[in-house]
Structure 1
Amino acid sequence: MKAVLAGTVIAEADEADLFRIEGNWYFPPASITPGALVESPTPYTCPWKGAAQYFSVEVDGKLHKDLAWSYPTPYPTAFERVGGDFSGYVAFDPSVAVSA
Structure 2
Amino acid sequence: MQASWKGAVIASSDDIVMVEGNAYFPAEALDPAHVQPSEHRSVCGWKGEAHYYDVVVDGAVNPNAAWFYPEPKDAARQIRGRVAFWKGVTVQ
Structure 2 unmatched ranges of 5 or more:
none
* Bigger Cα Rg: 1
Equivalent position SS for 1:38 = strand
Measured after TM superposition, the shift of residue 88 of structure 1 is 2.3
| TM-score, scaled to structure 2 | 0.93
Measured after TM superposition, the shift of residue 48 of structure 1 is 0.2
1:23 partnered with 2:16: no
Equivalent position SS for 2:33 = coil
Structure 1 residue runs of 4 or more that deviate by more than 3 Å after TM superposition: none
* Residue aligning to 1:6: 6
| TM-score, scaled to structure 1 | 0.86
1:97 partnered with 2:90: yes
Are 2:62 and 2:87, in contact at CA under 8 Å, matched by a contact in 1?
Answer: no
1:43 pairs with 37, 41, 44, which one? 41
* Residue aligning to 1:82: none
Please state which structure has a larger fraction of its residues in strand: 2
